[in-house]
């Protein structure tokens, strides 16, 4: 699951990953400066990239 949040003049993309070996939740975050549309495009690109990679 992924989400976009406004943080000041930037957008923060948060993507939930698989749980770690210690059972804790893992997240990937990226900060995008610019329009929300740019953040949405980057979020879709990251999700597609992660779904294409094999699980460890």
Query: Half-sphere exposure of 21 toward its Cβ, with a 13 Å CA cutoff?
Result: 2
* pLDDT computed for residue 29 by the predictor: 96
Counting residues of the chain whose pLDDT is more than 70, the rounded percentage is 96
What is the model's pLDDT at position 55?
63
The domain segmentation of the chain, as residue ranges, is: 2-52
State the chain's mean pLDDT as an integer.
Answer: 93
pLDDT of residue 52: 86
Question: Mean pLDDT by 10-residue block, N- to C-terminus, for the chain (56 residues)?
Answer: 95 94 94 96 94 74
**What Å distances lie between residue 25 and 21, 40, 42, 48, CA to CA?**
10, 23, 22, 20
- Long-range CB pairs of 30-35 (<8 Å, 24+ gap) are 31/7, 33/9
């Amino acid at each position: 699951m992924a989400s976009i949040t406004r943080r000041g003049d930037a957008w923060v993309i948060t993507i939930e990953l698989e749980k770690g070996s210690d059972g804790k939740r893992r997240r990937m975050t990226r900060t995008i400066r610019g329009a929300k549309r740019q953040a949405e495009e980057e979020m879709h690109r990251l999700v597609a990239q992660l779904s294409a990679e094999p699980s460890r």
